[in-house]
């Protein structure tokens, strides 16, 4: 056991009820199979796929049901990428969740992310039972989830590593499997025998028929100190690099930035590959336990999974937004604005957004990620951004563009401010639609009200602020030889952006 973990375990109570539960949310995914709704800079965990609440928000509130029976840490701990930090923080705030957000300077898969979270927990000589959850899964029955976590926490408090297993309902080739061993006590847990990678169809069918293999949910319950011991034992390079990165971390507003160079040097491995697959080794410092989760779990990894979870009409159709069906069966239609009319369609997925449309057979939706890869290879913006792009101060919507011009609708939140900036290649015209704008242009500052406008010449230092109590909406017309978002020189920024 390493010295960090030894000192932690020596200072914390060992009884199950004394250790608090700590929600640890891994929010680094990109969700390419749910394109065009999910994009690189606005992935599926930030989207309200099943209502107003995003998957991240639902995950952050998932331990609330346990508050009455077990101590639960007030702050959720989220690990996410730099690009998603402001949206993540704002979404947590909107559902009344305070959170500590650890920023990954580069993606290194889930094992280093969890190690950084564990170091954040033990840094003050404390320990906790981490409930490690991907940010982009769905749990339909929260009460059943809480019951399963309570059982898992009892195992974890004594040093076991628990994974939630889903009793399979079909031969699924898109999930990893866990071979379940003998029962442990009367609580419903089983010994974890081994992990199995995603199988082919024939092998998946044999797994389901045997009754010995469950789906791997990707949800883990274990003590922070135990994880640090295990990662040091099985993957010392990850442990050492993560510890150096955490030692070099710096607080930035609501965020904790781990050391960039140190974290980039960390090997990229998943939790399963780095640790979980080795728990059955005789040399393992901890044992693996599987607790069944019967709570309507889904990883919503593709459009057919979304269709499967939503209510359907008599012909098996699902309409979201403006959609009509005529002689259609088993068709999923999702509209972000325009009307989708499906006539005589069968086993089809249609997803409309302002800048892209997906049409796919339900049996082929796993191949959507190939389209995203091709868009990236062609440097298409549709893989990374929506037409509406969120910023910490609000958002902008690129409503029209052409040779030498671009038109945006900009909405600035009350009290928010854009950076003090300038552009080398474009000039801008601003027209206020609603609200009040405080404009800084060179050495002068002035207010603009509804139906008033101003001009920002090329190369002129400027800033836009909303001093009011209602959102500021305005139209920006850009003109110039280059209109890319990287033509921004920031001199001062409230949000610490470079």
pLDDT per residue, tens digit, the chain (498 aa), is 334 343 333 344 445 457 999 999 999 877 899 999 999 999 999 999 998 899 999 999 999 988 878 899 989 999 999 889 999 999 999 999 888 999 999 999 999 999 999 999 998 788 999 999 999 999 999 999 999 999 999 999 999 999 999 999 898 888 889 999 999 987 889 999 998 888 888 999 999 999 999 999 999 999 999 999 999 999 999 999 999 999 999 998 789 999 999 999 999 999 999 999 999 888 999 999 999 999 999 999 899 999 999 999 999 999 999 999 999 999 999 999 999 999 999 999 999 999 999 999 999 999 999 999 999 999 999 999 999 999 999 999 999 999 999 999 999 999 999 999 999 999 999 999 999 999 999 999 999 999 999 999 999 999 999 999 999 999 999 999 999 999 999 999 988 887
Model pTM score: 0.90
The tokens describing 400, both together, are 């029209």
Q: Which residues pair with 352 in a beta bridge?
A: 335, 357
**Number of C-beta neighbours around residue 441 at 10 A:** 17
| H/E segment holding residue 326 | strand 323-326
**DSSP structure class, residue 463:** E
Give the C-alpha separation, 103 to 245, whole Å: 11
Domains of the chain: 3-301 (3.90.550.10), 309-377 (no CATH), 388-492 (2.60.120.10)
341-379 exposure pattern, b = at least 16 Cβ within 10 A, e = fewer: ebeebebbbbbbbebbebebebeebeebbebbeebeeee
The string over 64-85, giving b where at least 16 C-beta atoms fall within 10 Å of a residue's C-beta and e elsewhere, is: ebbeeebebbeebbbbbbeebb
């Amino acid at each position: 056991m390493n010295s960090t973990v030894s000192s932690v375990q020596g200072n914390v109570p060992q009884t199950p009820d004394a250790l608090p539960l700590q929600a640890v949310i891994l929010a680094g995914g990109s969700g390419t199979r749910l394109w065009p709704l999910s994009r690189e800079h606005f992935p599926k965990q930030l989207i309200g796929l099943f209502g107003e609440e995003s998957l991240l928000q639902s995950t952050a509130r998932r331990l609330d049901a346990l508050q009455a029976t077990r101590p639960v840490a007030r702050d959720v701990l989220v690990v996410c990428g730099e690009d998603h930090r402001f949206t993540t923080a704002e979404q947590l705030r909107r559902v009344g969740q305070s959170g500590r957000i650890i920023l990954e300077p580069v993606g290194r898969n889930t094992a280093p992310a969890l190690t950084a979270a564990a170091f954040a927990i033990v840094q003050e000589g404390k320990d906790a039972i981490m409930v490690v959850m991907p940010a982009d899964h769905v749990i339909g029955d929260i009460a059943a989830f809480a019951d399963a976590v309570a059982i898992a926490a009892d195992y974890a408090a004594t040093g076991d590593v628990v994974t939630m297993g889903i009793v399979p309902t079909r031969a699924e080739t898109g999930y990893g499997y866990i071979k379940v061993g003998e029962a442990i006590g009367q609580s419903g847990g089983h010994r974890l025998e081994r992990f199995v990678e995603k199988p082919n169809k024939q092998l998946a069918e044999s797994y389901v028929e045997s009754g010995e293999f469950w789906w791997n949910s990707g949800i883990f319950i274990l003590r922070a100190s135990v994880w640090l011991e295990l990662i040091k034992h099985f993957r010392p390079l990850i442990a050492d690099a993560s510890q150096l990165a955490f030692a070099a971390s710096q607080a930035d507003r609501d965020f904790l930035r781990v050391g960039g160079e140190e974290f980039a040097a960390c090997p990229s491995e998943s939790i399963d590959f780095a640790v979980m697959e080795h728990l059955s080794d005789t040399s393992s410092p901890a044992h693996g336990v599987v607790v069944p989760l019967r709570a309507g779990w889904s990883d919503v990894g593709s459009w057919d999974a979304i269709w499967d979870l939503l209510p359907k009409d008599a012909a098996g159709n699902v309409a979201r937004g403006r959609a009509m069906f005529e002689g259609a069966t088993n068709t999923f239609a999702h509209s972000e604005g325009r009307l989708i009319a499906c006539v005589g369609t069968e086993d089809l997925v249609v997803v409309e957004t302002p800048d892209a449309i997906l049409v796919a057979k339900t049996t082929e939706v796993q191949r959507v990620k190939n389209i995203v890869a091709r868009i990236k290879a062609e440097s298409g913006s549709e893989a990374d951004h929506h037409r509406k792009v969120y910023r910490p101060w609000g958002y902008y919507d690129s409503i029209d563009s052409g040779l030498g011009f671009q038109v945006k609708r900009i909405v600035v939140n009350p009290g928010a401010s854009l950076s003090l900036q300038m552009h080398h290649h474009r000039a801008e015209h601003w027209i206020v639609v609603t609200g009040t704008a405080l404009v800084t242009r060179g050495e002068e500052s002035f207010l603009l009200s509804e139906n008033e406008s101003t001009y920002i010449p090329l190369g002129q230092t400027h800033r836009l602020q909303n001093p009011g109590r209602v959102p500021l909406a305005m139209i920006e017309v850009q003109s110039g030889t280059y209109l890319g978002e990287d033509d921004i020189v920031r001199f001062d920024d409230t949000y610490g952006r470079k």
